[in-house]
Amino acid sequence: MIDRLFRLFDPREGQAVDPEEKLKVAVAVILLEVAHADRSFEPLEARLIDGDLARRFGLTPEEVRALVDRAELKRQESLDLHQFTRQLNRHLSLEEKLQVMEAVWELIYADGELDRYEDALARQLAGLLHLSPRQAADVKVRVLDRIDPDRLRQ
């Protein structure tokens, strides 16, 4: 209901929005939100986001920068992640949503620490993307195995 009210007062409401563009922005917003979850946005996180968006959508560095700028504005304007995860649920396959969650965990572990806010956000995102607890755990373990394959031997 609130979304409908906002759309009534949105000056762009009459304009057509490309669904692919909405999807790109949604993925970028989610990645930016994760990167900011621990209240510290590091250059490594920015590089990971840029690289993921470039690979995922076949974008040039200039296109990535423009996308990240648009997504950052949307992230700052939004009250929650539902509108963005709705886009992902509408347009991505299960495998593609799992790939987004892999990017989420890669961002979370980029600084070598699991912050409680990051962990809570990852669990929230998994639920919003309709992933089972098993699927969510498998993604996390897959990323951990890639980052630190010897972690269980220590």
CB 26 within 8 A of CB 87: yes
Residue in this structure with the two tokens 């998994």, named with its chain if needed = 126
Tell me the fold of 18-148. TerB-like (1.10.3680)
In tens, the pLDDT along 7-54 reads 544 444 444 578 899 999 999 999 999 999 988 899 999 999 999 999
Q: How far apart are CA 38 and CA 136, in angstroms?
A: 20
Tell which wins on pLDDT, 111 or 57. Answer: 57
Listed by start position, the domains of the chain span 18-148
In tens, the pLDDT along 94-151 reads 999 999 999 999 999 998 888 899 999 999 999 999 999 999 999 999 999 998 877 7
Helices and strands, counts by H and E, the chain = 8, 0
Q: How many CA atoms lie within 13 A of 65 on its CB side?
A: 3
CB 59 within 8 A of CB 25: no
User: What 3-state class would DSSP assign to 14?
Assistant: coil
